């Protein structure tokens, strides 16, 4: 029995050693594309800094704090203060790891990479992911909001960043610094509150099938979020339409208006010359018609004119008209007087203007089967009112909804589970 006991003890020891030695992946660096097609940039730092070739480690200069160095690209070559270098990539980094490199008067953590490209220089910030989030979180969500909402934003942004690694590989970096990816403004926009939210959730990501998710988020959904396929055409299991709590958003409900001539002109500017606008085909909210998604987003709109008819997606119409979201409906109205003149006394010749504020007359729509056709005759100077809800693509986490839930006492995990279905939260590193 002794040898069996020793064998079992040995196996247990090996198992325990394996558990103890298991570690999470190391924190990755992320490459953020700051600018492209640059002919020149000015770099500096708040500490002593160096400019090197990151491939060969050749040094092209060591500079004192605050020194401004001009890097240019001309004749298909890089120059450092007018001195030509053979390198196709330059690295600018402070000697002290806590230093900040400045590019065109903006400060950044980590190092700056400047790449020679055919159409000009590309400027990239290479830095640890957590430091990247110090800037992203306050750029994407006001730091005056509840800390649990900021934590939810930090986890969503971290998940989105890891999922999006190499998204812009063709351009030489992982993510851009704009809304196409996530807004990143460098270290100048950092603050202690947002950094606290990032630090409190360090390494945590949303997982589906043991992988970081495409954690889409937006400002406000207008009452309910969208299924991914109804916006982007691709079914994503964790991006489902759910009830939102964004009623306090300034963009929860909005309205804009156009004249028929203005709308025709906008369509023409985008290559859709329909002539004089005669009708718009679009169902009402909650109609259940095929031109709308479950969450209320417009799938398609038909514009008919004197010369042509076009069918456009809701996203295209949003872009052309500059709308806040694709959850919108239209109506055709005839403006009625807001004031009337009333005689003070018979034959006195004196009148008084009185506010009556009569509501505009809504032109009845024509129904053809399940189609709502809004006719425009242009005989009564009609206006087209576009009424909508929410702001952004309306998929994934609603930031105003996250704020409301945090104010109701939800922690960041509960907020995230509200907007992303069938996911878990785990440490990626």
Under the banding of pLDDT at 50, 70 and 90, the label for residue 213 is very high
| Residue at a domain's end among 127, 143, 158 | 127
- pLDDT tens-digit map of 219-269: 999 999 999 999 999 999 999 999 999 999 999 999 999 999 999 999 999
Establish if 20 belongs to a structural domain: no
Establish if 163 belongs to a structural domain: yes
**CB 252 within 8 Å of CB 426:** no
Residue 355 clears pLDDT 70, i.e. is over it: no
- pLDDT tens-digit map of 33-52: 999 999 999 999 999 999 99
- pLDDT tens-digit map of 132-148: 999 999 999 999 999 99
111 and 151 fall within a common domain: no
310 and 273 fall within a common domain: yes
Residue 18 clears pLDDT 60, i.e. is over it: no
Which candidate, 202, 267, 401, places its Cα nearest to that of 414? 401
Residue 13 clears pLDDT 90, i.e. is over it: no
Residue 368 clears pLDDT 80, i.e. is over it: no
The C-alpha atoms of residue 107 and residue 8 are separated, in whole angstroms, by: 58
38 and 96 fall within a common domain: yes
Establish if 288 belongs to a structural domain: yes
**CB 205 within 8 Å of CB 212:** yes
304 and 353 fall within a common domain: yes
State the residue range of the domain holding 354: 253-389
Could you say which DSSP state residue 81 is in? Answer: T
135 and 207 fall within a common domain: yes
DSSP, collapsed to helix, strand or coil, labels residue 125 as strand
pLDDT of residue 360: 73
Q: What is the pTM of this model?
A: 0.86
266 and 353 fall within a common domain: yes
If one counts the domains in the chain, the total is 3
The C-alpha atoms of residue 360 and residue 382 are separated, in whole angstroms, by: 10
Establish if 291 belongs to a structural domain: yes
Under the banding of pLDDT at 50, 70 and 90, the label for residue 187 is very high
What average pLDDT score do residues 63-92 get? 96
Overall size of the chain counted in residues: 429
Chain centre to alpha carbon of residue 286: 27
76 and 109 fall within a common domain: yes
278 and 207 fall within a common domain: no
pLDDT of residue 345: 60
269 and 319 fall within a common domain: yes
pLDDT of residue 364: 79
pLDDT of residue 19: 35
Establish if 238 belongs to a structural domain: no
Question: Among the listed ranges 122-126, 186-190, 285-289, 330-334, which one has the minimum average pLDDT value?
Answer: 285-289
Residue 371 clears pLDDT 80, i.e. is over it: no
59 and 110 fall within a common domain: yes
Query: Helix axis angle, 147-163 relative to 192-200, nearest 10°?
Result: 70
Under the banding of pLDDT at 50, 70 and 90, the label for residue 365 is confident
Establish if 243 belongs to a structural domain: no
118 and 135 fall within a common domain: no
N- to C-terminal Cα separation, the chain? 43
Under the banding of pLDDT at 50, 70 and 90, the label for residue 12 is very low
pLDDT of residue 343: 64
Residue 17 clears pLDDT 80, i.e. is over it: no
The C-alpha atoms of residue 54 and residue 252 are separated, in whole angstroms, by: 49
63 and 167 fall within a common domain: no
- pLDDT tens-digit map of 294-319: 999 999 999 999 999 999 999 999 99
Chain centre to alpha carbon of residue 416: 17
């Amino acid at each position: 029995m002794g040898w069996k006991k020793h064998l079992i003890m040995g196996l247990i020891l090996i198992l325990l050693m394996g558990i103890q030695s298991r570690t999470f992946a190391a924190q990755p660096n992320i490459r953020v594309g700051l600018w492209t097609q640059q002919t020149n940039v000015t770099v500096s730092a708040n500490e002593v800094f160096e400019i090197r070739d990151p491939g060969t480690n050749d040094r092209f200069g060591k500079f004192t704090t605050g020194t401004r160095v001009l890097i240019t690209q001309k004749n298909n070559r890089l120059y450092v203060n007018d001195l030509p270098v053979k390198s196709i990539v330059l690295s600018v980094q402070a000697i002290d790891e806590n230093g900040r490199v400045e590019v065109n008067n903006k400060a950044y953590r980590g190092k700056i990479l400047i790449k020679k490209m055919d159409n000009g220089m590309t400027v990239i910030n290479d830095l640890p992911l957590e430091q990247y989030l110090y800037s992203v979180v306050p750029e994407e969500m006001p730091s005056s909001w509840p800390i649990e909402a900021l934590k939810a934003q930090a986890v969503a942004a971290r998940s989105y960043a890891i999922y999006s690694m190499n998204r812009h590989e063709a351009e030489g970096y992982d993510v851009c610094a704009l809304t196409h990816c996530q807004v990143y403004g460098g270290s100048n926009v950092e603050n202690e509150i947002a950094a606290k939210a990032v630090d409190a959730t360090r390494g945590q990501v949303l997982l589906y099938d043991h992988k970081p998710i495409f954690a889409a988020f937006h400002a406000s959904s207008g009452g309910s979020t969208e299924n991914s396929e109804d916006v982007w055409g691709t079914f994503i299991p964790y991006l489902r339409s759910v009830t939102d709590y964004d009623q306090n958003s300034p963009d929860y409900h909005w309205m804009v208006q156009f004249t028929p001539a203005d709308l025709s002109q906008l369509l023409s500017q985008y290559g859709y010359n329909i002539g004089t606008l005669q009708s718009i085909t679009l169902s009402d909210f909650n109609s259940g018609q095929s031109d709308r998604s479950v969450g209320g987003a417009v799938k398609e709109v038909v514009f008919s004119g004197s010369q042509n008819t076009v069918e456009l997606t809701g996203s295209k119409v949003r872009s052309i008209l500059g709308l806040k979201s694709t959850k919108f409906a239209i109506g055709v109205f005839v403006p009625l007087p807001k004031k009337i003149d009333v005689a003070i006394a018979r034959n006195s010749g004196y009148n008084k203007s009185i506010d009556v504020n009569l509501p505009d007359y809504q032109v009845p729509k024509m129904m053809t089967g399940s189609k709502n056709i809004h006719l425009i005759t242009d005989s009564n100077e009609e206006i087209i009112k576009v009424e909508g809800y929410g702001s952004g693509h309306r998929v994934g986490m609603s930031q105003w909804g996250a704020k409301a839930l945090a104010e109701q006492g939800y922690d960041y995990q509960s907020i995230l589970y509200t907007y992303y279905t069938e996911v878990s939260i785990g440490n990626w590193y």
